[in-house]
Chains A and B, each alone.
Chain A
Amino acid sequence: MSTPSYTTPRLLPLGDSAWTVEFAQHIDPAIHSRVMALEALVDEARRHDPVFAGIVDIVPTFRSLTVHYRPDTDPLGLGERLLALAGQAEASPLGGRHWLLPACFDPEFAPDLAVVAERHGTSPADVVQTLCQTAFRVYMIGFMPGFPYMGGLPASLHTPRLSSPRKCVPARSIAIAGEMCAVYPWQSPGGWNLLGQTPVDLFVAQDNPPALLASGDFVHWQAVDRGEYAEIERALACGDLHRQHFLHGGTA
């Protein structure tokens, strides 16, 4: 389904507890950039403007921003203001944070790597090289706490989901499906192709913030061997290393 982005963003009710401001119906970095610009504007407005005071959650997605509000909010007043702000939300070249995250592509962590390579007529080493040369954009966090939907996978690696999902995907598995890359924060069922594993936890409830990644961030994979993987895992577990260590070059 190919749909152009709207010249004017659309304001859609998600029941009587949220508004969704929709910029387009497809995936596009420029559209997501406008979503993040609106997120920043709404976040700023809620700090001082009483119309925005009832907002409880702001959820950026690929192509829209959803604003959940309390029952004591005037929904029509809030909707009107959101739409006005959306008109000002321009795509900006300023990105989010850049992460350089360790990834181990050892066959034990990458049960689908060989099949994916074969499917695309290349070698596992070339697939790994392509993954490590890509800047993945975090479009949104969802499906489960801390689960990042990341775009930017080169077309040469676009791969359909497994025809039969796995009952158990190990925690911190790096996976691809369609044009997306993701990491499973927890052990769970899943139908994506598993290409590796990171020793870094994606969601730690005791940390502030609990989710490692945020919408708008960029992830770069850095290949590590089994020994380095084990060492990083150990250092993170005992507190010698913090997850923020992998934040690269501060906020872009």
Chain B
Amino acid sequence: MNGWLDVIDGGLGNAIQDAGRYGYRHMGVAVSGFLDPVFAACANALVGNPDDAAAIEIRGLGPSLKVRQGPLRLALSGSISASILRHGGSTQELPAWHSATLETGDILKCGAVSGGTAYLAISGGIDLVPQLGSRATYQRAGIGGIDGRLLAAGDALPCHRLTRNEYREYRGEPWQHPSGPIRLLPGPQVDHFADGELARFLAATYCVTRDSDRMGMRLDGPALAHRSPAHADIVSDAVTPGTLQVPGNGLPILLLADCQTVGGYPKIATVIRADLPRLAQCRAGDSLRFTTVDLPQAREIQRQEATRLTRWQQGITTYLPAGYLDENALYTCNLIDGVVRAEPPIRD
């Protein structure tokens, strides 16, 4: 840890996340972590990090950051872009799915996410001290990230600086999540719903409402009927991100990463892990349809998506950033090889 990044503007709705906090759910501690682990893995790969290195999750207006100690490599994934204000005075655009190297004194100004969830990864990952085994921010309990809260001006983010500016950058194709209906497994309380309600649910289209955050999304559409009014409540049992719980009003709530560990509403179905990242990219007003799969199918889909991510990472290419083609670079860099990136950049 010898790189530093200062937050000069925290933006809105941005926090440090990683793969999540496991081993504490029996104490009521949510898993938290990346809403879209695939987008996060892409941004991390572009700066040479492992998939689950801590990164900034952007859900609104992105932050502005100034490099206190560089050079650092940064990359964005998602529906977002940023501009780089070089300490020398020039300005450059940084589109998503591209990396950039920032020198000491350079400033990165992120724009707003145009819906969904975006990530800003930094070389070496954000090297804060983990709390309860994770750097993921869990605001409800004030755990992880920076004092368990959103990013704010004045925060300092420890990371790793590159040993030298390579004068080349990395890019990948924008990641495409699977399309088609969201896949789920019925249960555990599908028997709390009237006959035919699961079929009605699968035949219907639901709309993502504005009433959505990291804990869950409320959906609007046909209200689902419980077997009886008494069946609208259960003696609380465990839930997990992806669980579709249906309270007495019949409108499903889709639980996400910061959801509680237990809940008292019947759960008609649970979204498979491979489709959780797709939920992170939903915006208010989006339409959702659902279909069921069985466990072996869910496992196969999970395997395919993991393979697709590996291929995406292997397909990352290098390029020469505009305005950085100087003579020094031409003489010191090998511009021909390394088109396919297999290893992280050299660090201190």
Contact = CB atoms under 8 A, between A and B. Distances in A.
A20 B230 contact: no
Residue among A66, A75, A146 with the highest chain B CB neighbour number at 10 A: A66
A54 to B, nearest CB: 11
Given A18-B238, A62-B235, A205 B132 contact: yes
Tier of interface size on chain B: 35 or more
A159 interface: no
Nearest to A56: B22
A59 B261 contact: yes
B149 interface: no
Given A15-B185, A16-B185, A63 B237 contact: yes
Contacts of B239: 14
A140 B262 contact: yes
A62 B26 contact: no
A214 B25 CA distance: 11
Contacts of A143: 28, 260, 262
Interface in B130-170: 131-132, 140-143
A1 interface: yes
Nearest to B242: A15
A71 B275 CA distance: 13
Given A61-B236, A64-B237, A22 B188 contact: yes
A235 interface: no
B27 A62 contact: no
A214 B26 contact: yes
A58 B24 CA distance: 9
Contacts of A147: 28
Contacts of B271: 15
Interface in A198-225: 203, 205, 209-211, 214-215
Interface string A1-31: 1000000000011111110101001110000
Contact of A13 (B140, B141, B295, B302): B295
10 contacts: A13-B270, A16-B273, A16-B302, A22-B188, A57-B23, A59-B261, A59-B262, A140-B236, A143-B28, A210-B24
Interface of B: 22-29, 131-132, 140-143, 184-185, 187-188, 228, 230-231, 234-240, 242-243, 260-262, 267, 270-273, 295-296, 298-299, 302, 306
Given A75-B295, A146-B27, A211-B27, 18 more contacts: A1-B231, A13-B187, A13-B295, A15-B185, A15-B271, A15-B273, A17-B242, A20-B188, A76-B296, A142-B28, A144-B28, A144-B140, A145-B143, A149-B236, A203-B141, A205-B131, A205-B141, A210-B24
